[in-house]
Amino acid sequence: MSAIIVDNISKKFRIPHEKKSTVLQNIAGLIKRRFDYEEFWALKEVSFEVKKGEAFGIIGRNGSGKSTLLKILARVLYSYSGSVSLNGKVASLLQLGVGFQSELTARENVYIYSSILGLGRKQVKKVYDEIFDFAELKKFENMKLKNFSSGMKLRLAFSTAIYAVPDTLLIDEVLAVGD
Amino acid sequence: MAATDLKNRYQNTALGFFWSLLNPLLLAGVLYFVFRHLWGREENFAINILVGVMAWQFFSTGTSSSLRAIVGKSSLVTGVYIPRQILVLSNVLSTLVNSLLTFIVLLLIIFIVLRHLPVTVLLFPLIHLILFWFIYGAGLLLSALYVYFRDLNQIWEVLVRTLFFASPVMYPLTIIPDYIMPYYRLNPVTQFIIIYRDIMVAGNLPSLYSIVFVIGFAIAAYLVGSFVFSKLQRRFAEEM
């Protein structure tokens, strides 16, 4: 069974000549008739298939669309054409510690992050100790996250993410700084 | 998520919920002292102001805070997949919890002042649910548009303030001239405030027209909001 099927996807970005982000600018643009933007194709007709149990890596130059592809797989971006199908639970580590709140304690953040990754409260309770053991942060579970070092945050996020036991784990370069 | 929101809002404030109660109470107090000479002889003027302010507060904080629900949580939009409506919903839910607490205190006050509670208070959960749905719909629309138009918060602020003066929060309905009335009643917030006052203070059943009107408005707001939201959310991550 295949875990990921990517069929012929393309992604187009718009690069406006003038960034309009307010109502006023949009009205001004309407009057000046400046609505042109350039198109940029980040991905063109990409297809591949990943079987269950496979590790699949994508290597490429800067700006070749690796992150864009991952974001489409993670359903953060939508492809312009083509289709993506993912079987099973997907956890994505595109940025680490998404949804971490620095004012809350590590314990609370683990619950929040797990719920974002699709885990219920009971399920988290079961693996809670393992998460902290693996991250070697048991001592700090009641400390506010704002007092964590970036390495500690990273360990906490990574360990939470893998205990969500996803069928597919999407990882962008976030692990480059991990130890 | 809503629980997180609440926790965040009251982090490090020992007085916590007390503040969110004090805010409408103070506003109502100020309005009462300023306007009591004008309309002080109206029946239950003080309590009516309080009801108006609390309903108003739910609407204004609900919409203005959900306006930022998407932009303010950009890491949750660009970093991971969750149905983005949840971000707005959790925001409105936490405002709902807040307003329920203030309304409980309000009921206590009404009971102390009037020495009884009208039976029609039982309709309160229903009305509050409708208002909640209306705010959620408006929140979906606003938060989605705010991603593309970053000056929407300024525009909305002005609109909300205009609505405040166009709703009978601080003055009785009776001062509105008859010929304006049909247009005046088109304001959904006005209808909500009228209904709240009917069921919580006067003990009247709200008119069928008002009920149908607010339900219609809530459904329309929700349909338009979720339609626009689902269209626009496809490019949220690009626009952040």
Closest chain B C-alpha to A63 CA, distance in angstroms: 15
Q: How far is residue B194's CA from residue A97's CA, in Å, rounded to a whole number?
A: 46
Q: Are B98 and B177 in contact (CB under 8 A)?
A: no
Predicted interface score ipTM higher than 0.95:
no
Q: Is B81 on the interface with A (CB under 8 A)?
A: yes
Q: Are A88 and A65 in contact (CB under 8 A)?
A: no
* The pLDDT of residue B1: 54
Q: Is B80 on the interface with A (CB under 8 A)?
A: yes
CB pairs under 8 A between A and B: 66
Which chain B positions have a beta carbon within 8 Å of A39's beta carbon?
A: none
- For A51, phi and psi rounded to 5 degrees? -80, 160
Strand pairing class (A81-86; A2-16): antiparallel
Alpha carbon separation from A115 to B81, B145, B173, B201 (Å, rounded): 12, 27, 47, 42
Helices B208-232 & B85-114, crossing angle to 10 degrees?
160
pTM recorded for the entire structure: 0.86
* The pLDDT of residue B8: 54
Interface with B, mutate which of A14, A21, A70 (most B CBs under 10 A): A21
The structural domain count of chain B equals 1
Residue A54: exposure state from Cβ atoms within 10 A (0-12, 13-18, ≥19): exposed
Tell me the per-residue pLDDT of B161-190, one tens digit each, with 9 for 90 and over.
999 999 988 888 888 888 888 888 888 999
> Residue A76: is its pLDDT beyond 80?
yes
Q: How far is residue B111's CA from residue B62's CA, in Å, rounded to a whole number?
A: 27
Tell me the per-residue pLDDT of A120-162, one tens digit each, with 9 for 90 and over.
778 888 888 888 888 888 888 888 888 888 888 888 888 888 8
Which chain B positions have a beta carbon within 8 Å of A90's beta carbon?
A: 81
Structural domains of chain A ordered from first start: 2-17+37-87 (no CATH), 93-177 (3.40.50.300)
What's the domain range around B61?
2-9+16-239
